[in-house]
Structure 1
């Protein structure tokens, strides 16, 4: 889940059920042509954001008026007497992850092209294992923003969690740790906790260990990365916090892993799962499900994840929206004794 979350509020009802209506986007008489143009609009977004990594955004917008006109046509930019008014969605993520966030968007475009060129109807991709090291690094580094949001905005709202992680002996499990960026961010956020990351992709773990070697030694010393499947987690009552990016696991793996992850929590500990949001329109919902499954993941949404966690006996379930249309985090607690 490479989106950059900025949770602003919790909402028990947010994304808790399929929208009542199933609206089709108004694409006019030639929807194929409009959607083809939308691909170019996305190219304009990525190109603008990429160039703005090294130049002021206002200068970038002025330098290519034709490209900027595309952004104006979709409401991301408005030209005024005093310059450009820019939609928040176009602004870069924090400086630490802006480059990787842009590269993650570019990777998504490349994957869409690969899906279009795939042989055989609906031929699935080989999942993250088929991606180049560069893609894994960019996608993984972008997840640092999720780790910072968890530490600063989510954990303080989970009863007792921050206090436990502030004490000696605090442990966090990062499932699907990838290259370790989120694990490092959590270690920075909780200076007395240890973060254990696991990933089923051995190559990603190798890249992550190289990332740890280049990180602040005082932080990296409290992070460990292991080549391990989530379904192999066998610890009991070991972690105060478990992070689970649910869309990246297959449905079979997710169902097998959830009971083990619940048992791995200490009594009173919290599991936080990232889930696919239920967009207001059918296009984004269907694309989200297709890309998740095609990449080796699952189509669980927020409501279904909530049901699964509660069926395992976890309580105090709550949801935390991130960016508009982005992932929704579901938090649930193992009952204290």
Structure 2
């Protein structure tokens, strides 16, 4: 690619990055999180109209929050890559905004589980007991699960203290503190047996060996007929998206699992009713224990 083509591509990508920032800025204004000069606001709305014909007028507050979290996550992740390309391939993000944005985005996993449980009585039953939330981060999944299912008790594990410190603040500010316990603990050393009706494992942050050890630990932690749900990062089909997804996973120290391979892992541990529920950016592979 010659220099002029590179320059054109960079200009295009710069406009796309600014477009994402425009949408995020307007969402923040709509939620009362920012006030801007009237002329700037007018130009922001003109830009949104050009980017998204029809604008953002039909979004309710919950949907605006979800989209703002997604935009924030993308922008913070891009900044981290730009400023720290040399950091080791481990999850070491300490920026509170990025951690909170990830936690907000992760709440969608719970909403997907709720939709799946509506058609799966055994899964619905598991959501009324004890839930082990591995990689709880800032407790986004734990808080959403506690809100969705009033009888559910949650134990959240994480080894990243900056995230867990924020999780403790988030839980303390919620009405669910009596039903959520947070622990600074590595899942590969988790040794509780038959204590949980549902366990959750996000694999994008684990190496292949660590994920297999975690699967063994979580299998043992399940009560009879309990459910194990595994989150797998699903890369886009198009080449650019796939390459960027592989880079994100490499930087987090994770392994890019194939859904079929994860199904094999679950069946080899005695799980039944194993299935994959595909989605973007996360696919769920789940099964019921013996």
> How far has the Cα of 1:92 moved from its partner?
8.3
5+ residue gaps, structure 2, are 32-37
Partner of 2:195: 238
Question: Residue 224 and residue 36 in structure 1: after superposition, are their counterparts in 2 closer, same or farther (change >3 A)?
Answer: farther
Q: Find out whether 1:198 has 2:126 as its counterpart.
A: no
Partner of 2:105: 142
The secondary structure found in structure 1 opposite 2:30 is: coil
RMSD over aligned Cα atoms = 3.0
In structure 2, C-alpha distance between the alignment counterparts of 1:213 and 1:69, rounded to whole Å: 40
Partner of 2:35: none
Partner of 2:77: 108
Q: Which residues of 2 match residues 1-337 of structure 1 at below 5 A?
A: 30=5, 33-34=8-9, 37-55=12-30, 63-64=43-44, 67-68=47-48, 71=51, 77-78=52-53, 84=54, 94-114=63-83, 118=85, 123-125=86-88, 127-150=90-113, 152-166=114-128, 170-216=129-175, 219-322=176-279, 325-335=280-290
Partner of 1:3: none
> How far has the Cα of 1:68 moved from its partner?
4.5
Answer whether contact 1:44 1:70 (CA < 8 A) is retained. no
In structure 2, C-alpha distance between the alignment counterparts of 1:174 and 1:114, rounded to whole Å: 31
In structure 2, C-alpha distance between the alignment counterparts of 1:234 and 1:306, rounded to whole Å: 23
5+ residue gaps, structure 1, are 1-28, 72-76, 79-83
In structure 1, C-alpha distance between the alignment counterparts of 2:49 and 2:66, rounded to whole Å: 27
The secondary structure found in structure 2 opposite 1:143 is: helix
In structure 2, C-alpha distance between the alignment counterparts of 1:315 and 1:247, rounded to whole Å: 24
The secondary structure found in structure 2 opposite 1:188 is: helix
CA offsets, 1:73-131, max 9 Å, x none? Answer: xxxx34xxxxx367x9x99862554443332121122133236xx3xxxx454533243
Which structure's residues are more often helix, by fraction? 2
Answer whether contact 1:175 1:245 (CA < 8 A) is retained. yes
The secondary structure found in structure 2 opposite 1:129 is: coil
Answer whether contact 1:93 1:101 (CA < 8 A) is retained. no
> How far has the Cα of 1:260 moved from its partner?
1.1
Greater shift in the superposed pair: 187-196 or 246-255? 246-255
Answer whether contact 1:315 1:333 (CA < 8 A) is retained. yes
Answer whether contact 2:89 2:250 (CA < 8 A) is retained. no
> How far has the Cα of 1:185 moved from its partner?
0.8
Answer whether contact 1:175 1:198 (CA < 8 A) is retained. yes
The secondary structure found in structure 2 opposite 1:285 is: helix
> How far has the Cα of 1:36 moved from its partner?
5.3
Answer whether contact 1:174 1:244 (CA < 8 A) is retained. yes
Greater shift in the superposed pair: 220-229 or 277-286? 277-286
CA offsets, 1:258-309, max 9 Å, x none? Answer: 1111221122111111111142222222221221121222222323322222
Answer whether contact 1:249 1:298 (CA < 8 A) is retained. yes
Question: Residue 39 and residue 270 in structure 1: after superposition, are their counterparts in 2 closer, same or farther (change >3 A)?
Answer: farther
Q: What TM-score, normalized by structure 2, do the two folds share?
A: 0.83
Partner of 2:34: none
The secondary structure found in structure 1 opposite 2:191 is: coil
